[in-house]
A and B are shown apart, each in its own frame.
Chain A
Amino acid sequence: GAGVSQSPSNKVTEKGKDVELRCDPISGHTALYWYRQSLGQGLEFLIYFQGNSAPDKSGLPSDRFSAERTGGSVSTLTIQRTQQEDSAVYLCASSFRFGVNEKLFFGSGTQLSVL
């Protein structure tokens, strides 16, 4: 597809279960980002990948969160032992490269609800 694709669009899970969220960036984009959007909190940076460099995990809120990017393309964000406070929209974005002036292209997000 032409844009950033995220799946699933909605995920409902029970507290304590693990979830995986997937992001397929725009072809040719070397930088990939994950953000979290909670009600009234704006967009919170989680992690980004640039090419084959080690990812910047500085925004991950706890060690229950992890992400990987396979083959420099698709990325998976994993949340282990989910908690109710993890409920949010998880947005993925990509850009041609990582840089201060780069425009990000966003997916439609995954709405995660932890019951």
Chain B
Amino acid sequence: GAGVSQSPRYKVAKRGQDVALRCDPISGHVSLFWYQQALGQGPEFLTYFQNEAQLDKSGLPSDRFFAERPEGSVSTLKIQRTQQEDSAVYLCASSLALAGSNEQFFGPGTRLTVL
């Protein structure tokens, strides 16, 4: 079956531009996560949705980062006025259950390069 998909796979932005990154989770998955992965590092948590509710946004690095999931399915991560330090791979993951020890399924990521 279809896994988590993300688009675009690659994005180049000039410093100061706004970008929008899309995540299509696995159908029926309640939970959706965004992570940021800098070069040579492990992924770092950004934000978490349960259906359409954003329950945790403690990892968003600044108010330039905004995420939404209005209908509890597709999610968009928006970065305003991009800076060079925003260059990273942005990973989306989804999982089925609300709580417990369920695995997260990751998409391939969007590689953002800010020039």
Task: State whether these chains interact.
Answer: no
